[in-house]
Amino acid sequence: MRDYYRRSYARMRGYYMPPHFMEIPYWIPITASMLPDEHFRKELMIVDDLDAAHQRITEAAEGDLFFFSALDANVKQLLHLASTGATMIVGGYVDPDVFADFPNVRFLRDITHLPVTVPRARPRTTLDYRLFDGLKCIPRFSMSSGCSFRCKFCTVPTQVVPADPGGYEAEIAALAPLDFRLAFLDDKSFGDPVADNWRDLGRVRDIFAAAHEDFEGFIVQTPPSLAARSGFLAECRDMGVRYVEFGVETAHDGLLKYLRKPFRTKHLYAASETVRELGLYVIPNFIMGIPGDDYRNTVQWVKEFVDIMPAVNVNWLAAHFGNERGDLDLPVETFGDRDQNTVTKSWLGEKEIAAGLAAVQDIYAVTEEYWRDRVTYPSEQATVR
């Protein structure tokens, strides 16, 4: 998957991938903003060698704190690091009880609780990106949080809260340490009428462009039904949108209904046609491992629209811990069942897993074949940096 992304990003104008992660983990600049310089000296520690990290944490000074984001996929490693006895502050979508044997691990159910747990921490302020100074990346920028849809597998909070437009300038100024040409709009369903500030994007673009002379625009994510509304994508393009991510999941109406996705394949086809007409690009999110899916329609849709699809994102259906909705009616028994990067699921047989993997290979091959000698936005002058 990583090799696929490296090749794809190289063809996608404005896409940068940092060496250790796809994108900056958003909780880090949030947490850094809550730890004022006068009381904390902050360091970024990238764990790519578990033994070296264990050794380093073992040697920590008494007052040192280690912050981690826990996922079902990394709990085992975190428990190993916790065995050092160092103080760890952990948050994330895992069952907090897994750390019950380690009194040195403090689990935060919500990042807003940090000032209660850590003396001299303060409530969240403007995001602090200084730990990532000079990094070539695609930063996130948020104009609203939450999503008003309720797809059954999703953990995004269902209450939509628009951001305060008075904060745009400061949030953009906070990205100054980073090197980027595109910003990823964190809004989960961009253009949702409930987040009624989405038309501020043109103004936001002007603020970005004034601060970063190389700035080229935005990547937004939204369901195809919102994207298919007449005139919407044209408006997006005029406000600086360059790429649109669709949570397609599967191009199968019955299964879209099962997942409670807020669109059907007719919206997907209509929105894809509009993307093509406007000269934009689409990056779909797919969910493999949905019970009963044969992926045929999904592969077919990729083939029909490969010319607007420089890359795809693949996930494997997971029933995340803490999912408010979660009524997928699936047996959730193993860590793999809760990990969207793991192919083994208790609801899938070996044949189904093999079919899913084969479909992913097909989809990768179709996009790589078409894009091998192509780049996005080919008519724009290449900038040498």
Ligand X SMILES: C[S@@+](CC[C@H](N)C(=O)[O-])C[C@H]1O[C@@H](n2cnc3c(N)ncnc32)[C@H](O)[C@@H]1O
Q: Which strands form 217-221's sheet, in the order they lie side by side?
A: 140-141, 182-185, 217-221, 241-249, 281-288, 313-316
Quote the CA–CA distance of 144 and 86 in Å, as a whole number: 36
DSSP character string of 132-150 = GTT-B---EE-SEE--S--
Q: Residue 318: which of ligand SF4, ligand X, none does it interact with, CB under 5 to 8 A by kind?
A: ligand X
Q: How far is CA 177 from CA 29, 129, 135, 327, in A?
A: 12, 6, 8, 42
- Provide, rounded to whole angstroms, the least separation between the CB of residue 145 and ligand SF4: 11
Is 249 among the residues that bind ligand X (CB under 6 A)? yes
Options 13-21, 124-132, 292-300, 317-325: segment touching ligand X (CB under 6 A): 317-325
| 3-state secondary structure (DSSP) of residue 382 | coil
Write down the residue that tokens 């047996």 correspond to. 331
When the beta carbons of 158 and 383 are compared against ligand X, the nearer one is: 158
110 token code pair: 């919500």
CB of residue 336 vs ligand SF4: minimum separation in angstroms? Answer: 21
Please choose, out of 44-52, 77-85, 177-185, 244-252, the segment that lies near ligand X by the rule CB under 6 A.
244-252
Q: Which of 135, 138, 120, 97 is closest to 321 using CA atoms?
A: 97
DSSP SS3 for 322: coil
Among 222, 274, 367, 376, binds ligand X (CB under 6 A): 222
> Rule CB under 6 A: is residue 317 a binding residue for ligand X?
yes
Q: Which helix (H) or strand (E) holds 287?
A: strand 281-288
Q: Confirm or reject binding of residue 265 to ligand X (CB under 6 A).
A: no
User: Does residue number 162 form part of the binding site for ligand X (CB under 6 A)?
Assistant: no
Contacts with ligand X, 86-105, as mask; x by CB under 6 A: --------------------
Of the pair 152, 237, the CB lying nearest ligand SF4 is at 152
**Judged by CB under 6 A, does residue 73 bind ligand X?**
no
Contacts of 320 (CB under 8 A, 6+ apart): 72, 93, 153, 155, 326, 338, 340
Smallest separation (angstroms) from ligand SF4 to the CB of 85: 38
Name the one range near ligand X by CB under 6 A: 137-145, 236-244, 267-275, 315-323.
315-323
Cα–Cα–Cα angle for 109, 110, 111, rounded to 5 degrees: 130
Q: With CB cut-offs between 5 and 8 Å by kind, which of ligand SF4, ligand X, none does residue 320 bind?
A: ligand X
Stretches 22-30, 163-171, 204-212, 246-254: which one binds ligand X (CB under 6 A)? 246-254
Footprint of ligand SF4 (CB under 6 A): 147, 149-151, 154, 156, 188-189, 223, 247, 262
Residue type, 93: Y
As a whole number of angstroms, the distance between CA 242 and CA 248 comes to: 18
User: Judged by CB under 6 A, which of 102, 129, 132, 153 binds ligand X?
Assistant: 153
Quickly count: other Cβ atoms within 10 Å of residue 225's Cβ: 19
Q: Which stretch binds ligand X (CB under 6 A): 14-22, 52-60, 126-134, 216-224?
A: 216-224
List the single partner that 285 binds among ligand X, ligand SF4, none, CB under 5 to 8 Å by kind. Answer: ligand X
Residue 35 CA to residue 30 CA, distance in Å, equals: 9
Q: Measured from the CB of residue 125, what is the shortest distance to ligand SF4 in angstroms?
A: 26
Q: Which is nearer to ligand SF4, 149 or 180 (CB)?
A: 149
What is the residue type of 170? A
Residues at the contact surface with ligand X, assessed by CB under 6 A: 147, 153-154, 156, 188-189, 221-223, 246-247, 249, 285, 287, 315, 317-318, 320, 340
